């Protein structure tokens, strides 16, 4: 008869779990041993728990189903918490297996004893459970897996005491049934259709599953038929975009720019998202970005069927057979000039991005022009920083590459962000994953220099400025990557970067480009604003013109 760990492994495999991202310790050794009993389960070792959880997040985004993590006690779970937060905010399915001390050992309050359930509830509000017996383990696991799958996707945490794992008498459990998501009610759809027909400026804000191809086409038909403005949430979990797909404008991170996008909107319809709010509170500014007096209505909540609900609305409006425009195939020219800048990096990405690439954006301020330069690139998926906890990008690349081994992955990462989970490079090399990472090495926490002025902080002296500066000791990402087995190059000139990117994208396996770009912009009014206005000059669109008029001194 199998022990608990062996039965658990069979339960996970029967439930469709194919990958486990691991960072095990002593309490998890029976689970580790059981991996060899399940050839269907791929085990991927990560050198830091935040890499394991971020990889599971990236996998879930692209595979559409949960991977498992294996974490060591409460401390290991705590180390992985930031990327689990990102997964929770992105409604990504993840199943955590967290080892615990044997139940008989708990009363002794050993050095690593902690309250794991309290830690887990921060990221697993719907399911946290400590299995109390080997006989109950697999039933608990099947229920955890069902919660993780959703809808919507969730982070579920199953805590596995060592004696429950090694105990005899485990019985594999078949997958728990999951209910299909419901569509919007007929009366709700009719009311929305009638509301749209009355006129007034209507916008539809798409998030989650509303940003996948089928939903985008239906929403685009509604927009073309009824004059509805399409918007996407600021940080989408997964956005399908590029030439041949409907273009959708993302709500800007800066509240000042979001206000321009939403100005005059009288009716905001939500699809698998919530009404937009400012990322942080700022003195004298509203946190709610919805214009005052704007009616907010929900077509599909996160636990509902976004595609089915959009179809019903399109039929109710008579828009189901309307022709909708798509983004034209349009790549930018090669960047010129010797001096490499963040904008030139983004332009080169737009010129060279391969068909069906997975583009991971954790470039923070350096990616300001990325959306513009890649809008007409071959179709691709975009993954963004859903929860705002930096250190997501490199781990996401691991998971995305494992979920979609036939697709190239390009991860654009800020230098400060990369150092949170730089251990991901080792796993990229060990697994031989087809990932190209570009690190924007500008020697600063750029976004904090921007926010410094926006929050109204005063009397900033050298000690305070030093907390936002990564210079001094210096970071050589090429050497770091080579030390972990990743092919890497450090570049400081435009042509050198373009050659390095083209070669990396054409050569299988992991690559890193350490792109040395100018120091970060120092303040919104004094430095960021001219840069934003200059970038908007190159964007011939009504939004760019409106934003420029709003922000110009």
Q: Which residues of 527-541 are buried (b: 16+ CB within 10 A; e: fewer)?
A: bbbebbeebbeeeee
Backbone torsion region of residue 208, taken as left when φ is above 0, otherwise alpha when ψ lies between -120 and 50, otherwise beta: left
Q: Distance between CA 248 and CA 319 in Å, rounded?
A: 18
Place of tokens 């004696």: 163
Q: What is the pLDDT of residue 365?
A: 86
- 64 secondary structure, DSSP code: S
In this prediction, the residues of the chain whose per-residue pLDDT falls under 70 are: 445-454, 456, 458, 519-553
Confidence (pTM): 0.92
Q: What is the pLDDT of residue 531?
A: 47
User: Do the beta carbons of residue 171 and residue 139 sit within 8 Å?
Assistant: no
Q: What is the pLDDT of residue 445?
A: 66
Q: Distance between CA 359 and CA 361 in Å, rounded?
A: 6
Catalogue the long-range contacts made by 258-264 (C-beta closer than 8 Å, 24 or more residues apart). Answer: 258/234, 258/289, 259/289, 259/291, 259/550, 260/543, 260/546, 260/547, 260/550, 261/231, 261/543, 262/203, 262/231, 262/289, 262/290, 262/291, 262/294, 263/291, 263/546, 264/201, 264/291
């Amino acid at each position: 008869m199998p022990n608990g760990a062996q039965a658990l492994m069979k339960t996970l495999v029967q439930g469709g779990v194919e990958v486990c991202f691991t960072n095990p310790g002593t309490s998890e050794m029976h689970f580790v041993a059981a991996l060899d009993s399940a050839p269907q389960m791929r085990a991927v070792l990560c050198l830091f728990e935040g890499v394991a959880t971020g990889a599971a997040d990236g996998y879930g985004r692209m595979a559409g189903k949960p991977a498992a993590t294996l974490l060591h006690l409460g401390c290991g779970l705590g180390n992985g918490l930031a990327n689990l937060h990102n997964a929770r905010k992105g409604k990504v399915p993840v199943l955590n297996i967290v080892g615990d001390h044997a139940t008989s050992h708990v009363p002794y309050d050993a050095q690593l004893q902690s309250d794991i359930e309290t830690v887990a509830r921060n990221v697993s509000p719907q399911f946290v459970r400590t299995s109390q017996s080997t006989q109950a383990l697999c039933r608990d696991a099947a229920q955890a897996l069902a919660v993780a799958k959703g809808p919507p996707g969730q982070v579920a945490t199953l805590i596995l005491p060592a004696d429950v794992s090694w105990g005899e008498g485990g019985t594999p459990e078949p997958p728990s049934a999951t209910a299909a998501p419901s569509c919007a009610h007929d009366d709700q759809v009719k009311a929305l259709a009638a509301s749209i027909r009355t006129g007034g400026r209507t916008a539809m804000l798409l998030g989650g599953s509303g940003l996948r191809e089928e939903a985008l086409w239906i929403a685009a038909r509604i927009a073309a038929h009824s004059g509805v403005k399409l918007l996407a949430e600021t940080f989408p979990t997964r956005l399908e975009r590029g030439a041949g797909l409907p273009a959708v404008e993302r709500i800007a991170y800066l509240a000042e720019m979001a206000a321009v996008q939403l100005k005059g909107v009288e009716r905001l319809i939500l699809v698998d998202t919530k009404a937009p709010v400012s990322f942080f509170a700022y003195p004298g500014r509203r946190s709610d970005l919805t214009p005052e007096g704007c009616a907010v209505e929900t077509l599909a909540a996160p636990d509902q069927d976004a595609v089915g609900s959009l179809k019903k609305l399109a039929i109710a409006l008579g828009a189901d057979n309307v022709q909708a425009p798509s983004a034209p195939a349009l790549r930018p020219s090669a960047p010129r000039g010797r001096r490499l800048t963040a904008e030139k990096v983004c332009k080169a990405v737009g010129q060279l991005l391969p068909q069906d690439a997975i583009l991971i954006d954790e470039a923070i301020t350096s990616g300001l022009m990325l959306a513009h330069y890649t809008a007409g690139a071959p179709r691709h998926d975009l993954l963004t920083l859903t929860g705002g906890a930096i250190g997501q990008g490199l781990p996401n690349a691991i998971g995305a590459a494992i979920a979609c081994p036939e697709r190239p992955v390009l991860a654009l990462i800020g230098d400060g962000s990369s150092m949170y989970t730089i251990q991901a490079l080792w796993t990229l090399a060990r697994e031989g994953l087809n990932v190209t990472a570009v690190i924007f090495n500008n020697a600063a926490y750029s976004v904090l220099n921007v926010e410094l002025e926006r929050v109204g902080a005063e009397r900033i002296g050298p000690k305070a400025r030093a907390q936002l500066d990564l210079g001094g000791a210096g970071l050589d990402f090429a050497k770091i990557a080579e030390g972990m087995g990743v092919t890497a190059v450090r570049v400081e000139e435009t042509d050198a970067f373009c050659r390095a990117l083209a070669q990396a994208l054409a050569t299988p396996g992991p690559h890193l480009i350490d792109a040395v770009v100018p120091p970060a912009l120092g303040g919104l009014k004094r430095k960021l604003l001219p840069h934003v206005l200059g970038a908007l000059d190159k964007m011939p669109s009504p939004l760019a013109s409106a934003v420029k008029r709003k922000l110009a001194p």
